[in-house]
Structure 1
Amino acid sequence: MTPRIRSLTPAGGIVGSTPVRRILVPAAVGVLVLGLLGTSGASAEPVHGLYEVRGATSAQDRTEIAATGAAIDHVGDESVLVTATPDDAEEIGGLGYGVEEFDVPVPLADPDPGYTGYAELVGVIDEVVAAHPDIAARSVIGRSHEGRDLLAVKISDNVDVDEDQPEVLFVHAQHAREHLTVEMAVHLMRLLTDGYGGDPRITDLVDDREIWILPNVNPDGSEYDMAGSTWRNWRKNRQPNEGSSSPGTDLNRNWAYEWGCCGGSSGNPSSITYRGPAPESAPEVRVVADFVRGRVVGGEQQITTAIDFHTYSELILWPFGHTYDDVTNGMTREEYDTHAALGEHMAEANGYTPQQSSDLYVTDGSINDWLWGDQRIVNFTYEMYPRSAAGGGFYPPSSVIERETARNEEAVLRLLDYADCPYRIIGEEAAYCG
């Protein structure tokens, strides 16, 4: 009987209830590489395989496995599925876990033309701004390693004025292969502009908030992933790493809060969770961090809430990821309860599973932790559709885009509702919001 595995992963992916064929590779012997993932057209880059790791039953086990540099793609009751180099997989076997070759549940296919590439995205942004010049504006906040513009779209009444209003940030596509998040940005831009003046709720929110959408913060990686004859399963950016033939930094391990602290990222450039040589060493992370720091006015951060969109697993995650504790240094009980209550409130709308990031396994250097720990912004990671690899994994068919982006409308509006004072959701507005 073919086993089935249920899976979860923070800011990286999930495979759930997917039957697979497996070949056992004893831990003492080593591992076999499944195939070439993320190497099309780039022979000098590392070979990554897909493996099932048996005997992992706790968040602590999964953290130990992730510390090898493997990316955990999903979690089962007694096993996890990882994307890893042969060296990573051999190291996992050396820890005492059984390591097995794992068939890709959904083979990599030709890049789906229904997804929005970078040039098309720029065109969509220009179209939205041209159609709604009074409430939408675009700006270039910096450039990627390869020189592509990193764009921000502001949506608000009096869009050219920096008003004293709560601000909300939406970040998309830190990980290159997570193209559905770019479609989420397109959907939000159109929802908030086309709905203005016709939908009373949207109109009030646009009037009373300043909304920032960063539609693709890793355009180099996204374009690389889409450029081959098949999807390349690429996660990182594309900057070279000195002394290594393996390019790229995992943007969501490069943020300057508890960077590299806790075994939640890799120091090996060959790893797909490579954290970079220093915090904010990735130009894309530095640009976005500078943008967020630039929203501090009169000593006060204007951004009150944020969502960082990823795929896949249908989760809503909140900080911290670098520690298993909820109440800890930098997070009081009221602050934790605010994140949890707001996460649960949003999850009621889209059917995602709400939980603290580290309930899955420890990650460090994530935007989730930085936005709260450094900037005190109440924030969440959305892991979008699908719930399992059976729905397409990182590459669901473009036919689901409209349905799955619309699915998050109410959840996002609920975050906007509480942007004036997130602590209102636990009845602590007087204590925290004056």
Structure 2
Amino acid sequence: MKKSVLIILAIVFSIAVFSQEKVIIRFQNPDQITFKTFTSAKYDVAAYKPGEYLDIVVTEAGYQKILSQGYQAEIVNTTAQMATNLGDVDDINGYRTYAEALEELQQIAADNPEICKLIDIGDSRGKEYYEAAYGNYEDYQHDIWAIKLSDNVNVEEDEPAVYYFGAHHAREPISTETAFYVLNYLVDNYGTDPEVTENVNTKEIWFVPIVNPDGHEVVLNQLNLDWRKNIRDNDGNGSVTPGSWGYPDGVDPNRNYGWHWGGEGASSDPESQTYHGPEVFSEPELQAIRDLLADNHFVAGISYHSYSELVLWPYGYTSNAVAPDVDAISDLGTMVGESIPGIYGGHYTPEPSWQLYPASGVTDDWAYGNHGIFAYTVELGVEFIPPASQVYQIVEDNLDGAMILLNRINYSTLTGHITNSVTGEPVVAEIFVEGVDDTGLYREPYASDEEFGTYYRMLT
């Protein structure tokens, strides 16, 4: 009798565990009712490609419930498969853990001191907790590291800056691999490739391969492969709560920026994957990026994410929001997208962010709206954690797009210096372009910088 009871309990436990297994399900070519139902409700949207598919993350039990409601959907990925993909790539030098990424950055800087400088730009939420004597965060003592490339890397030169970011979202480690690939390409080819050498000599090129190191750790250690956010302790229990259906802890790093924070496509529910945080720039990881953008004269940048094979540009905070520089910013985004081949043919789809779905408080809107940076999101591949067979192809295929962005300032750019005619000192002044800045569309005005009086306006 006892043996029978144990067997029954084991079966019940197995069913319960199976019902909580996370899967990614796909609605093929969803109509607007389906799209709005699953993007406006409390669902975890994995990816959306207009006219093709909508992917969401649910439990097995949740999937069965959706089917019972009459929806047509299929399972396209599971957390078990994601774990297998992470394991497979251990043999091909990636996906990098935080420790491996930091060691490589340190080695790059040590081997190339004339062009590379490694800079600690801030602390993670986990490190702040540990330093405040919360012992459960011992494994999350992470700094946010940036590496700068320039020919006079220790000098603040009168040069435009470009950035490449990875891992805002924890479950997207392919973004870190792509940032590293571009970084290593530039470092390895400096001094031999004329295009690379010219770019490093005339620009300041910044990489932050892991913006969200605590979340990255959660995924790479397989505590929760669906984790998207940082590890803010929303439930106040003094430790990381992985969650089963909801996600009790964490703030979405790509909903915590200050441009239309708390608007569409962001949630006030702490358990939501798109929780925007208790206030704008509440998270130390985003404060680090905010300050980096404020302290340097960035003109363009890419934040890598996954997935859907898309290139997105501002605005995204509401439907039909148009950037004043729409012609120039969309032209560059289209060139980047059309340069990146898709895994199964075609190329990455270029489009304004809102056309995917509205999302407020995002990197690109803040960078462009507040600083005038031509800021892009590149959604890599066709799943969060691509298998080993696709990793190298994806990162290599994205190199041309990264270089197109880097080279763009070399043409059709209005640039110069504004100085005091008597003293020669730099002057901060608004740079107004007729036909662009008088359309009624809004961003903060372009201005010459305080240190050099320099301005850059990329035009069509």
TM norm structure 2: 0.72
Amino acid at match of 1:36: Q
More helix by share: 2
Give the structure with higher Rg (CA): 2
SS of residue paired to 2:46 = strand
1:109 maps to which residue? 83
CA distance in 2, matches of 1:239, 1:422: 43
2:111 maps to which residue? 131
Residue 145 (structure 2) aligned to one of 145, 151, 154:
151
CA distance in 2, matches of 1:281, 1:185: 25
1:306 maps to 2:308: no
SS of residue paired to 2:148 = strand
1:36 maps to 2:20: yes
CA distance in 1, matches of 2:52, 2:144: 41
The change in CA–CA distance for 1:342 and 1:140 in structure 2 (over 3 A counts) is same
Shift of 1:277: 1.3
SS of residue paired to 2:278 = coil
1:403 maps to which residue? 393
The change in CA–CA distance for 1:279 and 1:61 in structure 2 (over 3 A counts) is farther
CA distance in 2, matches of 1:225, 1:366: 22
1:357 maps to which residue? 353
Spell out the pairing of 1:377-392 with structure 2 (5 A cutoff). 377-385=373-381, 388=382
Query: Which structure 1 segments of 5+ residues have no match?
Result: 1-31, 38-47, 296-301
1:232 maps to which residue? 225
Does the 8 Å CA contact 2:263/2:359 hold for their aligned counterparts?
no
TM norm structure 1: 0.76
The change in CA–CA distance for 1:208 and 1:260 in structure 2 (over 3 A counts) is same
1:141 maps to which residue? 121
Does the 8 Å CA contact 2:20/2:59 hold for their aligned counterparts?
no
CA distance in 2, matches of 1:193, 1:55: 42
1:69 maps to which residue? 42
Spell out the pairing of 1:303-382 with structure 2 (5 A cutoff). 303-327=298-322, 331-332=323-324, 335-350=325-340, 351-382=347-378
- What is the RMSD computed on CA atoms of the aligned residues? 3.2
1:121 maps to which residue? 101
Residue 257 (structure 2) aligned to one of 248, 255, 265:
255
SS of residue paired to 1:139 = strand
The change in CA–CA distance for 1:158 and 1:423 in structure 2 (over 3 A counts) is closer
1:188 maps to which residue? 182
CA distance in 2, matches of 1:177, 1:50: 13
CA distance in 2, matches of 1:54, 1:123: 42
Amino acid at match of 1:254: N
Shift of 1:55: 9.5
The change in CA–CA distance for 1:358 and 1:422 in structure 2 (over 3 A counts) is farther
Residue 418 (structure 1) aligned to one of 400, 403, 408:
408
Residue 168 (structure 1) aligned to one of 162, 166, 178:
162
CA distance in 2, matches of 1:184, 1:65: 30
CA distance in 2, matches of 1:56, 1:272: 22
Query: Which structure 2 segments of 5+ residues have no match?
Result: 1-15, 128-141, 242-247, 341-346, 415-430, 437-455
Amino acid at match of 1:324: S
* Deviation readout 1:39-87 (Å, 9 max, x if unpaired): xxxxxxxxx66455699523x8635632323232244759733225899
The change in CA–CA distance for 1:203 and 1:63 in structure 2 (over 3 A counts) is farther
1:277 maps to which residue? 278
Residue 82 (structure 1) aligned to one of 52, 56, 71:
56
Does the 8 Å CA contact 1:166/1:420 hold for their aligned counterparts?
no
Q: Percent identity?
A: 31
* Deviation readout 1:69-121 (Å, 9 max, x if unpaired): 3232244759733225899999x98xxx8556753435333433231101000
* Deviation readout 1:275-306 (Å, 9 max, x if unpaired): 111111122111211221222xxxxxx10001
The change in CA–CA distance for 1:98 and 1:375 in structure 2 (over 3 A counts) is farther
CA distance in 2, matches of 1:285, 1:339: 24
CA distance in 2, matches of 1:399, 1:78: 24
SS of residue paired to 2:121 = strand
Shift of 1:187: 0.9
Structure with larger RCO (C-alpha < 8 A, sep 6+): 1
Q: Answer with 132-141 or 316-325: which moved more.
A: 316-325
SS of residue paired to 2:359 = coil
CA distance in 1, matches of 2:62, 2:157: 50
Shift of 1:394: 1.1
Does the 8 Å CA contact 1:56/1:80 hold for their aligned counterparts?
yes
CA distance in 2, matches of 1:98, 1:292: 47
* Deviation readout 1:325-353 (Å, 9 max, x if unpaired): 243xxx32xx0111110011112221311
Shift of 1:145: 1.0
* Deviation readout 1:296-317 (Å, 9 max, x if unpaired): xxxxxx1000101001111110
Does the 8 Å CA contact 2:25/2:76 hold for their aligned counterparts?
no
Does the 8 Å CA contact 1:338/1:423 hold for their aligned counterparts?
no
Does the 8 Å CA contact 2:26/2:56 hold for their aligned counterparts?
yes
Does the 8 Å CA contact 1:347/1:354 hold for their aligned counterparts?
yes
CA distance in 2, matches of 1:86, 1:366: 30
The number of equivalent residue pairs is: 367
